[in-house]
Structures are given as C-alpha cells and as structure tokens.
C-alpha cells in the first residue's frame, strides 16, 4: 500500500512537472536547446523508472524484517498446533482419529509455509516480490486451514 502511494505521488509530480507552464507561457521544465519533446518524455520515463526501482530496493531492504516477523508467526502457529495436538491426545473416540488427520493436514501446510519462508531468506532482489507473494499465499492457506481445524475441534472435542 505504501509503495502504491509513493508510485502514484512520483507519477503525479512527474506529470505536473511536464505539464506546468510558467507565467511567460513557456514550459516550467523546458527542454534544453536541441532536445525534442520525445527525448524529454524519455528522460521523464527514465526518472520514473528509477523511482520505481528505488521503491523495489526499499521493499527488498525490508526482507530481513519481514522474514523475522513471519518466523515468529510460524513459531506461534506451531505452538498452537502443539496445544491442539495435546487436546486431541486427551480425547477419545472417533473424533480423535478425525482430529489427528485434520491436524496432520494443517501441519503439512505449516511445513509448506516454512519451506516458502526459507526460500524468502535466500531470495534475491530480482525474485523477492515473487517469493514474498508465494509465502503470503502459503501463509494465508495455513491460517485458513488452522482456523477451520480449530473451529472443528472446538465443536467436536470439549475443552
């Protein structure tokens, strides 16, 4: 979200700079002598591309913070899974067998998210966005599966 706002701001400023005129009717950002409008437009595009690249670098610069935060989230989820597993171990009957299967499926999703996060640690600047988005999708699947399983367990196994 923050990056989208920054891109919009940069593009707006660039558009205003290109379209503004001074009091004497000349362009505020007048092309140098011999410079055509196309060359001027190419320069503006290059500056916009540089600004977008700077934002991409900033997002990549936050990689370590993102990975550390998500590691904590995965540890927290694993602890919750362990608590649910202990609750299931104390249960009896057919619900226990079903619960173990459901918990195993959630643990598999946890392992997939962990694998994605391990990949994020070694991500390069060029593939960071893809790796980060892949992890976010995997983590969203994990949380959805975890919440559904926790709800199912609370309905089937008394606290």
Same domain, 110 and 133: yes
Q: How far apart are CA 112 and CA 97, in angstroms?
A: 23
Tell me the CB-side half-sphere exposure of residue 33, using CA atoms within 13 A: 0
Please tell me whether the overall predicted TM-score, pTM, comes out greater than 0.85 for this model: no
Are 21 and 27 a contacting pair, CB within 8 Å?
Answer: yes
Q: Do 89 and 54 fall into the same domain?
A: no
The residues, ordered by sequence, that sit 6+ positions from 156 with a Cβ below 8 Å of its Cβ are 95, 98, 99
Which residue, 40, 60, 80, sits at the end of a domain?
60
Say yes or no: 21 and 82 in one domain: no
Residue pLDDT tens, the chain, 159 long:
454 444 444 444 444 444 544 445 544 444 455 556 667 567 766 766 665 565 555 578 888 888 899 999 999 999 999 999 998 888 877 888 899 999 999 999 999 999 999 998 899 989 998 998 899 999 999 999 999 999 998 888 765
Considering the domain architecture, whether residues 38 and 107 belong to the same structural domain is answered as: no
Same domain, 138 and 89: yes
Angstrom CA distances, 85 to 72, 144, 153, stand at 20, 17, 10
Q: How many domains, in total, are found in the chain? A: 2
Whether residue 33 is found in the same domain as residue 53: yes
Q: Are residues 56 and 68 in the same domain?
A: no
pLDDT of 146 reads 94
Instruction: Give the range of the structural domain holding residue 114, as residue numbers without chain letter.
Output: 63-156
DSSP string, 107-125: HHHHHHHHHHHHHHHT--T
């Amino acid at each position: 979200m923050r990056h989208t706002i920054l891109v919009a701001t940069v593009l707006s400023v660039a558009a205003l700079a290109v379209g503004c005129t001074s009091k004497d009717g000349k362009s505020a950002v007048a092309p140098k002598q011999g410079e055509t409008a196309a060359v001027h437009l190419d320069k503006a595009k290059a500056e916009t591309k540089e600004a977008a690249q700077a934002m991409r670098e900033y997002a990549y610069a936050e990689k370590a913070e993102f990975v550390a935060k998500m590691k904590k989230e995965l540890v927290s989820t694993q602890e919750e899974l362990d608590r649910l597993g202990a609750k299931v171990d104390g249960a009896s009957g057919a619900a226990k067998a079903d619960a173990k299967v459901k918990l195993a499926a959630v643990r598999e999703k946890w392992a997939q998210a962990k694998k994605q996060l391990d990949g994020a640690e070694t991500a390069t600047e060029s593939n960071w966005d893809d790796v980060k988005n892949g992890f976010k999708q995997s983590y969203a699947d994990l949380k959805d599966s975890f919440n559904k399983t926790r709800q199912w367990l609370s309905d089937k196994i008394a606290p």
